[in-house]
Structure 1
């Protein structure tokens, strides 16, 4: 598996959970997600599509992202893809745990540096990772939001995940400086 595949799986799962939570908060059903077309018609996404996106099993295409952005009242695409601070902190925590546990990172300098920064990390101790991301949250969030514009060129969840894969090098630099 490649870094891109791992990031796509991690990001899409987290994004789906976030969308699902927002749907519940706004009391919107899966068959009520849609957007207005340039012709003035309202196009709904299928319940199957919405369900697969919520489970993190499907790409959030341009039309789907437009539908979710409209239906969930997000003012910009970035707000849909990175809805709040809690989402980003969870993304960082999941990313760190993945780097520490996934075999693809076994020979990486990033994993070695993270282990040094998180002395005595054990797989069962996610609290330490949470404390770490909470402590450095301002720097991590600023870095990520500087990397992803309000209206990103990337229009799908897979493209955002690829951009996050590119951001890993900046993430590694930040971790080494902490």
Structure 2
């Protein structure tokens, strides 16, 4: 159970654009079996003003979003880092995915904000478990900006390394999370749900 290769991890934020993708990239490079998702109704990213976000459907490719922003305002979206972010994303996978639509099974679901954590727990509890296997849902609050996404990816990667070293994840998780919380000085939420 505890080797890096067979631990199935999902990293989840709201739009599967910044925080979950940065962590996805980090974990992939370390050899983890990882996927990333969003839980929102739509993919929302900053626009020309705070009240004018760019909104896309899940499943719209990162490449299409990149081209759309390029046409709208190349200098704005270069300056705020969105084109760079989308360029990274399209090297990892084709398009943002919605967590509530996946059929995949995971051992650990890591969310990047409390609202997303609540949505994931609620969704997992609302569906009928098919295998009754335990899934750990863990939240680490990460602000949705490029710098925090990078810090968050380091933290998530560190946590996953600790988890992968456990002999018995279900028995050791509380201790791992307690040590991690003390080390990173960020509150961690944890729930157990069933697949």
* TM class, shorter-length: 0.3 to 0.5
TM-score under structure 2 normalisation? 0.31
TM-score by length of 1: 0.33
Hey, which of these two has a bigger chunk of helix by percent?
1
- Of Structure 1 and Structure 2, the greater strand share is in 2
